[in-house]
Structure 1
Amino acid sequence: MLTVEADAARVETRLQAGEIECPDCGGVLAPWGWARHRVLRDANGVVRVRPRRARCSGCGGSHVLLPVFVLVRRVDLVDVIGAALLAKAAGSGVRAIAARLGRPVETVRGWLRRFEQQAEHVRVYFTVLLVDTAPDPVPPTASASRFTDAVAAVVGAWRAAASRWPDVGKVSPWQMASAASRGRLLSPIWP
């Protein structure tokens, strides 16, 4: 699994030109078919995606090129899930978040539980990213909650990256988090 930009045409152009490298060995990825069609939910309806599949000329491994707005094994786009995480960090309850997003309570509860389980890994990873990226880093101050600290670290790392590379500011903090975690922000196996 490799997270790539949202523009499928640009990804295809880069793939054809040999400009995407294998995350495992650094070899050149080449087109190798397509993954299955996926119907995903955004804030306003559905998005249909058919991710590109690529094969490495070096190690022979195959990778699904997952758009930056998608998380592995999630039907909802990362910005919808990110909105739930931000709301929880701000003190909202799961029922209120679910009602605001128009999602089942159990779905939202699952996102929040999974993020809570990985909160310390997320906090550490994104705090290190913030410190390594920012020209004059100021890590987020600790709060009473690991969950809130992890959310603050993601947003802080995004701000640091956007201040250094303006193109990063074109994506949301959650899309950057998806890219940095290789789509595994809510995965039980943290990258």
Structure 2
Amino acid sequence: MFALVRRVDLAEVIGAALVEKASGHGARTIAARLGRPVDTVRGWLRRFALRAEHIRAYFTVLLVDAGVDPVPPAAAAGAFADAVSAVAGAWSAGAFADAVSAVAGAWSAAASRWPLVGEVSP
């Protein structure tokens, strides 16, 4: 398990919220499903959205560097969903093949790779 700086929730919980948002769900629905305050969930989504292009680029590079013939994720419905797809693609391609990743989920491993995902200021 991996907690993000200045966050009470685990990276997996925040990652689940990001995946739900990329799938088209709103903050209220996500908050209800995760049992978290709506304002907290909105904050996660807002910070991720502000960095979505940088996150997409960073994890796409990890994905491409991970394999001999990597398959980048197809374009999704916007920058937010593209960034979530890039993190998932890098994870599935084995870009996080190390001790942290062996015991962590995709979002914990992603957070350990790029701590800017968890920073508060844009």
- State whether structure 2 residue 27 is matched by structure 1 residue 83: no
Q: Mark the structure with the bigger radius of gyration.
A: 1
| Cross-structure match for 2:119 | 187
Shift of 1:189: 6.3
Structure with a larger share of its residues in strand: 1
Gaps in structure 2 of 5+ consecutive residues: none
Question: For residue 118 of structure 1, what is the aligned residue in structure 2?
Answer: 51
Tell me whether 1:156 sits opposite 2:89 in the alignment: yes
Opposite residue 156 of structure 1, the aligned amino acid is G
Name the TM-score, length of structure 1 as normaliser: 0.58
Q: How does 1:8-157 map to 2 (within 5 A)?
A: 69-157=2-90
Query: 78, 99, 107: which one pairs with 1:174?
Result: 107
Shift, 1:70, TM fit: 1.3
- Shift of residue 186, structure 1, vs aligned partner: 3.0
Identity %: 57
1:94-121: CA deviations, max 9, x gaps? 1010001111100000000000000000
Change (3 A) 1:169 1:91: farther
> As a proportion of its length, which structure holds more helix?
2
In 2, the alpha carbon distance for the partners of 1:134 and 1:153 equals: 14
1: CA distance between counterparts of 2:120 and 2:91?
A: 23
Matched positions, count: 121
RMSD: 2.0
Unaligned stretches of 5+ in structure 1?
A: 1-5, 7-68
Following TM superposition, by how much is the alpha carbon of 1:92 offset from its aligned partner in structure 2, in angstroms? Answer: 0.9
Q: Which has the higher contact order (CA 8 A, sep 6+)?
A: 2
SS in 1 for 2:117: coil
TM-score, normalised to structure 2's length? 0.89
